[in-house]
Amino acid sequence: MVRRASLVVHPEEFVIIVGSNGSGKTTLLRGLLGFLPPLAGSVSRRAGLRVGYVPQRETLDPLYPLSAFGVALLGAWRDLSFWRVSAARERARARDALVACRADEFASRRYAELSGGQRQRVLLARALATDPELLLLDEPTAGIDPEAEEGILDLLRELREKRGLSIWMVTHHVHAIGARSDRTVSISGGRVLCEAA
């Protein structure tokens, strides 16, 4: 449970949420996404706000016979109408997202066969394919090597600059990321301890 959290999402801001295991980081993120309705207080979102979500990649089952492109394509299905006919447009959007995340070179490979860093890029591409204004990421750099972590962080910064995205990211690695973020939200025992610019 997270208590007494009062946070505002600003446009084009890169925010990291840090804290130890079980501190409530992911709960806070899920609250922002609307998965967990608040027991008290409220979460206000602008009508029509487009949110892209990158979950922890361990939650996705590698048994599914999907290619990297197939996973990215899932994001392009946001605007599907009942009688969907725009397959070419969806595919183009997924391809663009993969290129933007520098994941196009392994687009045809099975998602299950990719490395941790490559999977993370594909999941990022899927979120980008939803054409988001706000990007929420749940520990995207967990379990990947420092070089791949650097690559993902550079990519996030580049996406924020080129696309004007707001990015909120849950992480343990404050030492590596802190310098790149605009704001750090520190959370412990379900309480937001501080916000630092």
Binding mask 89-128 for other proteins (x = CB under 8 A): -------------------------------------x--
Determine how many CB atoms are found less than 10 A away from the CB of residue 123.
27
Residue 84, interface with other proteins (CB under 8 A)? yes
Residues 122-141, mask of contacts with other proteins (x by CB under 8 A): ----x---x-----------
Given a contact cutoff of 8 angstroms between Cβ atoms, the answer to whether 153 and 177 are in contact is yes
52 binds other proteins (CB under 8 A): yes
Question: Would you count residue 26 as binding other proteins (CB under 8 A)?
Answer: no
Q: In this structure, what are the phi and psi dihedrals at residue 19, rounded to the nearest 5 degrees?
A: 165, 165
Q: Does 53 bind other proteins (CB under 8 A)?
A: yes
Scan residues 130-189 and list those touching other proteins (CB under 8 A): 130
Percentage helix, strand, coil, to 5, in the chain? Answer: 40, 20, 40
Residue in this structure with the two tokens 């605009």, named with its chain if needed: 182
Cβ proximity to other proteins, 108 vs 115, nearer residue:
108
Q: Which of 32, 36, 37 has the alpha carbon at shortest distance from 52? A: 32
